[in-house]
Amino acid sequence: MNYPCERLAAQATIDTPMGPMLIAATERGLAGLWFEDQRHHPDVIDARVDAGQRWIALTARQLSEYFEGRRERFEIPLDAAGTEFQQAVWHALSALPFAATTSYGAIAQTIGKPAAVRAVGAAVGRNPIGIIVPCHRVLGRDGSLTGYAGGLDRKTALLAHEARHSPTALERAA
């Protein structure tokens, strides 16, 4: 897959409990976060490797906190390349509360395009900022697990992780 690399300032690969992830950033914010083997992973990014670049370092730290169960919301400026429609879908995804789920149809309603359920599905699948733009929280209309570019096993694990660390789950354990 080609990614608009002319905008990118830096990249780095980090280890996570769910496998290596590639982080790409512009000078303005986070542009991409992909699992190593996921669909739509860019083949090559022509940007310097720099784990210390400010948005890459911030992303790595906040992801670590997320996987440790200490972070529910990410505070990273986003600068992903996408169409106006994709941006609207990704913005709607970003508004989902921690551990909450939704459907493609609900997102289509949210962005004011109720007939665009399939197009919403395509935009969700092309989300270049996994976990932080939480496309793993989208389920089928009947609540079933549906496709996830990072793999259904990861989607299941991410949903279980969030369920374990949600305020509701923590209140039940107390």
Q: Which residues are known catalytic residues?
A: 135
Main-chain dihedrals φ then ψ at residue 20, nearest 5 degrees: -65, 145
* Short-list 25, 28, 4, 7, CA closest to 126: 4
Closest CA to 166 of 101, 100, 115, 110: 100
Burial of 136 (0-12, 13-18, 19+ CB in 10 A): buried
